[in-house]
Chains A and B, each alone.
Chain A
Amino acid sequence: MDQPVSTSAAPVQDGAADGAGQSSGMSPGTRYAARSIGSGVATLFFVVVFNFFLFRMLPGDPIGLYTRGRNVPPEQIAKLRAELDKPILEQFLTYVANPFSSTINSARFNRPVWELIFERVGATLLLVGTAILIASIVGTLIGIRAAWKRGETFDSVSSAVTLTLYAMPEFWLGMILLIMFGVGTAITPGVFPIGGIISPGVDPRSLEGILNVAWHMVLPVTTLAAVYVAEYALVMRASLIDEMGQDYLTVARAKGLKDKVVRRRHAVPNAILPTVTLIFMNLGFVISGAITIETVFSWPGLGLLTYDALRGPDIALLQATFLLFSIGVIVANIIADLLYAVLDPRVRV
């Protein structure tokens, strides 16, 4: 699984030695890391404050909507409204404490938001994590091969397929796969479930349960992976083609190295940087990115929770999910920054 990372990590050290060889001291690296983390924290602070005012600016009367069409006594409605109508500073403190507090309840579910998020986050991580893992391996490999055999049949077919997949809205692809392999058509068997993560009544801790979950994962993971594969393959192909004209490859070949070795140990490590960035950028969206896929496949993850919260609107829950999504993106960016430094010593300077 981590094969691509290890293959790329080793040669980069070569590269460093070949290149400038000036990355000996630790302090520039540490300074670089501190800078990335520092700017991440600053961004997070900005996002926190911005989101607070964003939600305060929303028009609307949530209590009116909750109680419409229900036989709620007026005194009770007034009480519910009073709970929302607190001084702005108190609201801000509550808001900051929100996702970590066990006492602030979601309006829709009447339970602490943290609990709700915690219940759902696993399903989303499983879905998106698996898809990205598969996509990053398959996508990178396809990209490498397509670039190396540029202009040949594999390249033209794979480019056509990846471009098509890349252009396809993921929910649409999901629905197509659902009809083809969930419901079944004249030409395809409907063997996969229509939705959900596990069949009712199956114990998820048993072997049967694990297989059942894997079976439920096939379609949503395929859909999501197909889109990411396309993206990674296209980026990988483009950056490898850029590298292929470089003199150092000619030199490597002149040294008598095998074509495969030239590709694996010289060209790919240098070309893989943009793909790594992309993979980590996408990791940031792991938590939020699957809303449409979760809707199509009724996957009980965070995306659906956000969707439910939006319909409320359930402000406490929305704020917490927004905060979590922002943290996800920021943390992934920091990791991408740091990893970039490891992969490419030039960045550290």
Chain B
Amino acid sequence: MRSTSWRSVAAVAAAASLLLLPASIGYADESPSPALISAEPTAFTVGITDDVDSLNPFTGIVSTAYEMYQLMYPSLTSPSAEDFSPVPDLAESWEESDDQSTWTYKIREGLKWSDGEPLTAKDAAYSFNRVINGNYEQTNYGGYVANVTKAEAPDDTTLVLTVKEPTPLMENLAVYILPEHIWKDIDGKAVRSYENEPTPGNPIVGAGPFVLTERQKGQFIRFEANPNYYKGKPSIDELTFRVYKNADAVAQALRKGEVDFADEMQANVFDAIQGEEGITTVNAEYYGFNEIGMNYGAALADGTPIGDGNPALEDVRVRQAINHAIDRQTLVDKVAKYGTPGSTIIPPIYSTLHLEPANPFTYDPAKAGALLDEAGYTLNSDGKRVGPDGEPLTLRLLGRQESQTSQQTVQFVAGWLEEIGITIDTKIVSEDTLIELNGEGRFDLFEWGWVVEPDPDYQLSTFTCAQRSSEEDGTIYAGLSDSHFCNEEYDALYAQQAVETDAAKRADIVKQMQQIVYDEAPYAVTFYYDLLQAYRSDRFANFVQQPTDRGPALFQFGTWSYESITPASAEDGDSTTASGSESGSDSGLNPALVAGLAAVAVALVAGVVLVTRRRASDEDTE
């Protein structure tokens, strides 16, 4: 009796799975490919590896979250697709008053939120005042309005911002304009845990090119084109961001056609996917750089020395020697894979602001050695540099646990520095530990990087004396400065650029500042890395790169590409499944792996067959 019941369970299970199988296959076939048959809505899907932490624009901090905010909400101005210069968004035009105390923005007329309510300058004034007078709201946007005392809307198309001091930042205010009629009901306390997520039938009210309609945490975020968008409804009807938890999965999903766009690909995966039919790869210039930072002489903002940095690094010749000892081209080739050797702290993608120094630190171990000799660190018989005090020159070098790039870089750099006779003690720590060590000045060298906004103010501020550490109740807290750089001339120029509203004059000052940091060498900027992206060019076309022809095709400042993307021609669209499952050119798989896979598969099948066969014969004997 028992034995039959066991067998019947198995039979039922098998039957059930057989029933389930065709249904699901049928389903799976239609689900991943947003078919481009004319009647169907055009659906564009982006694979992301970092889920949005919060859709509330006052809460989120990850970069994908900001991508969502700019799809949902407009700003006054937007950095242009061509070269990041500010161009009109919600504001048609703007001007600074003659006495430089107010800025007046002319807001577009007759605009509507996605729910049909009018969008006026009052919403803009509300959004700014919310940040200016807010507490929690300050965290994400306080930096932009620190200089703004009030926002007023004398009529529906005029916004007036009153400023304490003249500032060029007023053309680049990355503050999102929110619908007052929605947000007025969410007070300063409620906003802290407000999720801003849609429920079925209740999309999030916005005025960007897309309207947020659905979100499943850890899975996907879905938008629909906003018919009320002031530049006109975008060509793609649906926009979905699907979350994958590793970059490799996104690449596989792109190959298969589950997604149409992959961002932040790893170099090896990017190489493997290159040349595949129907996929176009973009190695975009990016806003980021990595550096080897040095302890310039750690101190509190008031100048009180702190920490235990090696005093050797307070000598500019030692810092320059380290700069000369680093072979940046090798780091680009072996570590970054896609990128360019680094020089100054404003990346070349910002061509109007970037300074390419006339006196570059070329890779020159001999010169590095000469500089160290000059500084009093001479080679002893063991090939080690020894200081004037007779002690060997030993430096601690910190790399970041979270970053493969960082760990590889410090390995190379340690090797080069050992070559010129410096003893290096390498340690890998977590990023939040590194911040603490930086803040307390308990380091000599470290590897990290920055992502630089179009407005250079923030990046430049990280080298001011005021951004060194601060002390409160005996605890030392890090400022933005991780090198503890401090230079009077630099600080004076920083103050100057902060109030210079003429773009050309400001660029001039910014370049002088870069030159100072370059010569003083608190950083050895290692490389400017590329952002690796890829998309299904058999399905979508007309991506816009920012800046033109060399920058990212998505994840930009502004929503340029999303507004411009169109479906590729219908014939291309039809070939989707074919090229999606085409795996003959699987360059990512090596033959050994395939053979291994086949072996495993055969073993598994054999096992299953044996189980069933044995069962049959077993029954015979019983």
A300 touches B243 (CB 8 A): yes
Q: Which of A75, A161, A164, A202 has the most chain B CB atoms inside 10 A of its CB? A: A161
- The contact string, 1 if C-beta is below 8 Å from chain A, for chain B 310-349, is 0000000000000000000000000000000000000000
Chain B residues whose C-beta falls within 8 Å of the C-beta of A189 in the assembled complex? 581
B583 touches A190 (CB 8 A): yes
B472 touches A78 (CB 8 A): yes
Chain A residues whose C-beta falls within 8 Å of the C-beta of B29 in the assembled complex? 191
Query: Which residues from 264 to 301 on chain A have a C-beta closer than 8 Å to any C-beta of chain B?
Result: 264, 294-298, 300-301
Chain A residues whose C-beta falls within 8 Å of the C-beta of B23 in the assembled complex? 211
Verify if B574 is at the interface (C-beta below 8 Å from A). no
Cβ-defined partner of B193 (8 Å) among A111, A119, A305 = A111
CB distance from B327 to the nearest CB of A (A): 27
Q: Can you offer 7 A-B residue contacts whose CB atoms are under 8 A?
A: A60-B433, A74-B470, A145-B615, A194-B244, A200-B240, A211-B24, A304-B245
Name the segment of A15-23, A152-160, A328-336 touching the other chain: A152-160
- The contact string, 1 if C-beta is below 8 Å from chain A, for chain B 31-69, is 110000000000001000001011010010100000000
Verify if B480 is at the interface (C-beta below 8 Å from A). yes
CB distance from B64 to the nearest CB of A (A): 13
Query: Which residues from 184 to 222 on chain A have a C-beta closer than 8 Å to any C-beta of chain B?
Result: 184-202, 208, 211-212, 214-215
Name the segment of B201-209, B218-226, B416-424 touching the other chain: B218-226
Chain A residues whose C-beta falls within 8 Å of the C-beta of B610 in the assembled complex? 153-154, 157-158
> How far does the alpha carbon of A142 sit from the alpha carbon of B614 in the complex, in Å?
11
A110 touches B193 (CB 8 A): yes
Query: Which residues from 189 to 220 on chain B have a C-beta closer than 8 Å to any C-beta of chain A?
Result: 192-193, 195, 214, 216-220
A194 touches B51 (CB 8 A): no
Verify if B370 is at the interface (C-beta below 8 Å from A). no
Name the segment of B122-130, B137-145, B508-516, B532-540 touching the other chain: B137-145
B597 touches A81 (CB 8 A): no
Chain B residues whose C-beta falls within 8 Å of the C-beta of A215 in the assembled complex? 24, 27-28
> How far does the alpha carbon of A164 sit from the alpha carbon of B604 in the complex, in Å?
10
Chain A interface, number of residues (Cβ within 8 angstroms) = 92
Closest to A162 in B: B607
Chain B residues whose C-beta falls within 8 Å of the C-beta of A214 in the assembled complex? 20, 24
Chain B residues whose C-beta falls within 8 Å of the C-beta of A72 in the assembled complex? 138-140, 142-143
- The contact string, 1 if C-beta is below 8 Å from chain B, for chain A 66-87, is 1111111111111111000100
> How far does the alpha carbon of A189 sit from the alpha carbon of B580 in the complex, in Å?
12
Name the segment of B228-236, B249-257, B379-387, B548-556 touching the other chain: B249-257
Closest to B402 in A: A311
> How far does the alpha carbon of A296 sit from the alpha carbon of B250 in the complex, in Å?
11
Chain B residues whose C-beta falls within 8 Å of the C-beta of A185 in the assembled complex? 583, 586, 589, 594, 597
B622 touches A258 (CB 8 A): yes
Chain A residues whose C-beta falls within 8 Å of the C-beta of B253 in the assembled complex? 194-195
Verify if A99 is at the interface (C-beta below 8 Å from B). no
Query: Which residues from 600 to 619 on chain B have a C-beta closer than 8 Å to any C-beta of chain A?
Result: 600-601, 603-604, 606-607, 610-611, 614-615, 618
